Amino acid sequence: MAQLSLEHIYKTYPNGFEAVKDFNLDIKDKEFIIFVGPSGCGKSTVLRMIAGLEDITDGTLTIGDTICNDVEPKDRDIAMVFQNYALYPHMTVYENMAFALKIAKVDSKIIDEKVHEAAKMLDIEKLLDRKPKALSGGQRQRVAMGRAIVRNPKVFLMDEPLSNLDAKLRVQMRVVISKLHQKLGTTFIYVTHDQTEAMTLGTRIVVLKEGVVQQIDTPQNLYNKPANLFVAGFIGSPQMNFLKANVVLEKDGVHLVLENGVNIKADAEREKKLMTGGYIGSSVIFGIRPEDIYDKKSFVEAHQDTAFDAHIDVYETLGAEVYLYFNIGDTKVTARVDPTTDAKQGETTTFALDLKNYHLFNKDTEIAL
C-alpha cells in the first residue's frame, strides 16, 4: 500500500521566504495526483519534500504507516523521474536501468528479468545496447522511467518529465505514462505547469499559487466548478473570459448587466446567492469559457437576449476550430467557434452567449459564488 498523508506542511527557507504554506493532502493508494500551477508556485518543492530532497520546516509527512520527515530518501521506497533525464552517458541503456538494482546487490538473473520487462513495457527493447547519446529525447525519457520502474517502488514522483520534449512527443509520452499507471497499479505524483497534461493524466489535481493550495479536485470538477478566479483562469485553454457585471434588481428578479449592455436574468440558484450575499447594486465578475460564445446564425437567432456585436481583431485557425479575439469595453475576449464560421478579421460579427455554464466571482475575494 502506498497511501501518503501531508498534514500542515510548510517550507521556509533561511532568508524567510515561504515556498509552501499549510499544505494538506491525503493521497490514496494507486492514485494519479497532479500538482499544477505557474512557475514558482511551490509544486516541485512539495515533490522534493516527499522525496526527502528538501527538509520539511513544519508539518508531518506519512507514507503508509511511517512518519517520514526524517527518513533518508533511499529508505522511502520512492522513485523519481526528473525533467533532465540524468542518465549515465558512459553506460548503455541496459546498464543505466540495472544500476540501482546492482548497487542493491540484487541477483543478476532477477535484474535481467526486471530490465527486459520494463523495456518491453516502454517499447525500448531494441535500444538496450545503445548509449544515451545515440537516443532521441523521447527515448531518453523512457529510459529514465524504466530505471524507476525496475525498482518497483511504492510511489513514482515525476517532476515535469515531458517539458524538454516537442509537442508531438509530449502527446505520445502522455499516453505512455497513462498506460504505465494502469499496468503498474502504483501511486503516481506528477508535477507540471502544463494544464493540458494535468487534465489528461490526473485522477485528482492540486492547483497551487504562491505556495498555497487553491483547489483539490477531479479534472472535470476543476473545469466545471472552479473554486476561485485563479483556478478558473488557469484551468482551460484558451482561458475563461472575465467581464464586469452589475447586479441589479428588476421587477422580474435579479439581473446581471455586462459591460457590453447584455442583460442576463439570473437563474433561481444564483439569484438567491446574489440576494443573500448583499450583491444588489454592486458588481461581480462574470466568467464564461470561449466555447460558450457562439457566432453560428441559428444559435444567435435562438438566443437574442444574449446577442451582441463585436469587431474581430484577430482570427486564428487551428483546423478543427477557430479562435476569434475581440474586445468588450477594455476587456479582451476569446471565442472558440466552428471552423465553418463566416467571421473575418477586421469585420464585425454578432455573437450570443450560452448561459448554461457561466460563472460568478466576488470581485474582492475572487471566490466563486
Backbone angles phi, psi at 324, to 5 degrees: -115, 130
Last residue of a domain, one of 234, 256, 276: 234
Judge whether 292 lies within some domain.
Answer: yes
Specify the pLDDT at position 1: 52
Same domain, 224 and 104: yes
Same domain, 189 and 253: no
Last residue of a domain, one of 196, 217, 234: 234
Measured distance CA(263)–CA(90) in Å, rounded: 68
Same domain, 120 and 222: yes
Same domain, 161 and 19: yes
Our CA dihedral for 208, 209, 213, 219, rounded to 10 degrees, sits at -40
Judge whether 268 lies within some domain.
Answer: yes
Strands 187-192 and 32-36: parallel
Our CA dihedral for 106, 108, 111, 116, rounded to 10 degrees, sits at 180
Same domain, 147 and 31: yes
Last residue of a domain, one of 203, 234, 265: 234
Q: Which contiguous run of DSSP H or E holds residue 24? A: strand 18-27
Judge whether 256 lies within some domain.
Answer: yes
Same domain, 121 and 31: yes
Same domain, 150 and 270: no
Inter-residue contact 259 to 284 (CB < 8 Å)? no
Same domain, 185 and 333: no
- In 10 A of CB 58, how many CB atoms? 12
H helix intervals, the chain: 43-51, 93-103, 108-122, 137-149, 167-184, 195-201, 219-224, 229-234, 268-276, 297-302
- In 10 A of CB 257, how many CB atoms? 17
Same domain, 219 and 280: no
Q: Domain span at residue 139?
A: 2-234
Backbone angles phi, psi at 216, to 5 degrees: -125, 120
Same domain, 33 and 78: yes
Same domain, 209 and 292: no
Judge whether 367 lies within some domain.
Answer: no
Judge whether 325 lies within some domain.
Answer: yes
Measured distance CA(27)–CA(337) in Å, rounded: 38
Residue-by-residue pLDDT tens, the chain, 369 positions: 579 999 999 999 999 999 999 999 999 999 999 999 999 999 999 999 999 999 999 999 999 889 999 999 989 989 988 877 789 999 999 999 999 899 989 999 999 999 999 999 888 999 999 999 999 888 998 899 899 889 888 899 999 988 887 888 888 889 888 988 998 889 999 999 888 899 999 999 999 999 999 999 999 999 999 999 999 999 999 999 999 999 999 999 999 999 988 999 999 999 999 999 999 999 999 999 999 999 999 999 999 999 999 999 999 999 999 999 999 988 999 999 999 999 999 999 999 999 999 999 999 999 999
Inter-residue contact 353 to 306 (CB < 8 Å)? yes
Q: What is the DSSP letter of 220?
A: H
Total of domains in the chain: 2
Q: For residue 219, is the peptide bond before it cis, meaning its omega torsion is within 30 degrees of 0? A: no
Domain CATH for 320? 2.40.50.140
- In 10 A of CB 345, how many CB atoms? 12
Specify the pLDDT at position 145: 87
Read off the C-alpha cell for 131: 548509449
**Whose CA is closest to 259, among 232, 230, 219, 286?**
286
Same domain, 66 and 192: yes
Domain CATH for 99? 3.40.50.300
Return the axis-axis angle of helices 137-149 and 93-103, rounded to nearest 10°.
20
Measured distance CA(172)–CA(340) in Å, rounded: 29
